């Protein structure tokens, strides 16, 4: 694995021990997930015990420790979306892509993730693809939505 980007990112933050969170965020953007090698490298470059990094990397649900797909499909499971049918939308997505929540398709195209409320409750049920909001999603619209990214 090429870790040159990790070096650059850590350097960009001036090897600041307090910048772990920002560093991890940048790594996730660069690699689309947090590779274990990258986490070890951060620990080494900042001279911080691995545990001080792993505790942050595992705390936030926005971080992924496993490789993610090219397109991230995020289903809001917050209360408002839930009552408006988010569980049905999620099942439909899982059926269409033949993976469960948290998994990535074999071709590496899609990952399904869930979150709790993204602050757009009026649009529920809400699905985001690569950070773009798609509101009032009906189970029947799921396959059309996906086809745009297939």
The answer to whether 4 touches 45, Cβ cutoff 8 Å, is no
61 part of the interface to ligand FES, by CB under 6 A: no
Q: Report CA torsion sign: 125, 129, 130, 134.
A: negative
Please tell me whether residue 105 adopts helix, strand or coil conformation: coil
Burial degree of 76 (CB within 10 A; 0-12, 13-18, 19+): buried
35 part of the interface to ligand FES, by CB under 6 A: no
79 part of the interface to ligand FES, by CB under 6 A: yes
The 96-125 contact track toward other proteins, x by CB under 8 A, reads ------------------------------
Q: Which stretch binds ligand FES (CB under 6 A): 5-13, 19-27, 92-100, 121-129?
A: 121-129
> For 14, what's the count of Cα atoms within 13 Å in the CB-facing half-sphere?
2
Q: Which is nearer to other proteins, 12 or 36 (CB)?
A: 36
Both tokens assigned to 37: 């090698």
Site for other proteins in 44-83 (CB under 8 A): 49-55, 58-59
**Where on the chain is the footprint of ligand FES (CB under 6 A)?**
76, 78-81, 117-121, 124, 126
């Amino acid at each position: 694995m090429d870790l040159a980007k990790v070096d650059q990112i850590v350097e960009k933050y001036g090897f600041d021990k307090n910048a772990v969170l920002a560093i991890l965020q940048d790594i996730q953007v660069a690699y689309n997930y947090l590779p274990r090698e990258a986490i070890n490298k951060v620990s080494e470059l900042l001279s911080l015990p691995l545990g001080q990094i792993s505790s942050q990397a595992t705390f936030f649900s926005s971080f992924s420790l496993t490789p993610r797909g090219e397109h991230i499909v995020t289903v809001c499971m917050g209360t408002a979306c839930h009552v408006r049918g988010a569980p049905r939308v999620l099942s439909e997505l899982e059926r269409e892509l033949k993976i469960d929540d948290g998994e990535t398709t074999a071709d590496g195209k899609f990952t399904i993730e869930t979150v709790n409320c993204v602050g757009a409750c009026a649009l529920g049920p809400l699905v985001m693809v690569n950070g773009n909001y798609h509101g009032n999603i009906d189970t029947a619209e799921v396959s059309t939505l996906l086809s745009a990214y297939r």
